[in-house]
Structures are given as C-alpha cells and as structure tokens.
Structure 1
C-alpha cells in the first residue's frame, strides 16, 4: 500500500481535523471522564488553533494517506525547550494518529521513517515524544528504537487520574 504524507494547508485542513478527531476518538476515549475528549479536541483539533500554529515555522502538520484515503495525522515541533534532558536540536513528535481500521498495516512505521528522514534533513539530534504508559503505542515506539527517559503526566483537565501516567521517550537521530 502506498503511503503519502502531505503538508497541511488551508485547502486540506478540514481533512486533517476530521481524520484527527475520528482517530483520536477511536483510540483514546478511555482516558477521559465520561468518555468526553472535548478538552483535547478544543486545544488541538479545532481549526483556529491549527491555523495559528501553521504560522509558526517550528510547527509541522501532515495528513497521512494510504492510496487516496486520509488515514491519519502527524504533528511535529522543532527545537522544543521544555525538557532539560533533551538537546536543543530536537524534534518533538506531538501526534501520530491513525484510524483504527488502518492500524497494524505498517503505515505507522512508514510515517516514522518519514519523521526520521525529516529530522536528519534538519540536523536534529533526537526525536522525542510522550507515550501513554499503557497500551499499544508504548510497544510500537520501543520496537522502533525509542528509549524511556523519564516518567511524565498528562496535564489536561478531565483526564482520569489512572490514565495520566506517561513516559517521555527518546531516539537519537
């Protein structure tokens, strides 16, 4: 299956939002009180915040396609300085969400290859992310060479206490 990764523009932003919301709801409702992810969606999957972020050259948004179908989203940030153990020349993997029906087909691995190549192109030293302590994403990232650096937590309102624990994970580029 051919996987393409297209930059988000004003023309395809609605596709990014639609597939982002659907994939998030398919995988992460269990994190939220009353299965209501509104705080996350309002902060990260609404048009205005994304349009604002698109103006920041450090923010990158992509729509993941398999064939001609929109199947996921990718969001990256260059050179985030919020973690003291992360070198300044870094690439933060904020989001890689795939529709459930496309999970396990190698699309996530191909997307990570795209991210590695991008990080190397821009001479970043490490790729890093936050992964839930529970669930498939943790093993996915471990299988792709990421190491756990330290414990972290979700800091959004209405996340269930038992679901707040995360790992900060890193991979040298």
Structure 2
C-alpha cells in the first residue's frame, strides 16, 4: 500500500486540496465552449488531455506540503453526448459504442446527454432516426445494466456545473476516507 493511500486529511487540508482539483477534458472533445466558459467564469481549473475513454475526468495535482508526491487521477469518467440524436447514432453504431462502454466500465462511468427532455424524446420517438423507440430504450437500458453505468439527461446550460460537482464530491469522498 502506498503512503498516500494511508493518509487522513483534516477538514482544512481537504478544503485546500478541493480547490486544487483540475478537470480534464479529452483532446477529441468538440463543441464544449459552454463547458469551458462555465469553468472560466468560476475560475475552475481544467486541462485538455488525451483520454483513452470518456470525455471528462479530474485529478488532484501533487502537493508535497500535504504529502501528495504525485498527481492523483480520479478513477471516474463522464462521456458526454450533445443530444439524443448523437446518443441514437452512437447506439446504432453498436460495436464502437460497446467498445467504449467496455473500456469505461473499468471505472465509475456516467453517460451525460445534453437534452433535459431526452428521456421523453426517446419514449416518444422524437429524434432523428428510424430506430424504434422501444428498441432504443431497450438497448440503452441493457447497456446500462451490462456495463454498470447511468445515463443523465441534462440541459446543456447545466453541463459544466454537473461535471465540476460530480468530480469535486468524488474527490472529497476519497480525501475524507484517506483512500488516494
């Protein structure tokens, strides 16, 4: 067991470490200005990096003062789809999508679809595809069960907030438990 995994942090140290959190987004992530604008406006640190799976993750940078001698990457990812239409296209391309889910299932994984009414659109067939809504819902729910992830449908105006707080509280719980 490494030294960092045994560390317990005080509340003040946790607050200090929380402020250092850096959100990562994948170099292939397109059209995410609304997300980075949210981060910029709130002075949330972020970096573009190549990711093997997912579009977003986060890490706590090394902090020798608190005994963290290297960057600590969170073992969680968010895959973002900019609409239900993009989700449908991904699911229709089953092999590529399933391969991504297989890679993602090795870590806590979340699928974020930027469409607050997305679930309703799936149920009512209001998307650009001839994919039957019952088959689409069945595929999505089967993938969720098989690869242990959750799909969140969210208005794109809330995406930056959701991403930040998703990783902030994941990091906070790791720090509280001293499991980093």
Q: TM-score, normalised by structure 2?
A: 0.28
Identify the structure with the greater helix proportion: 2
The structure with the largest alpha-carbon Rg is: 2
Identify the structure with the greater strand proportion: 1
Q: TM-score, normalised by structure 1?
A: 0.28
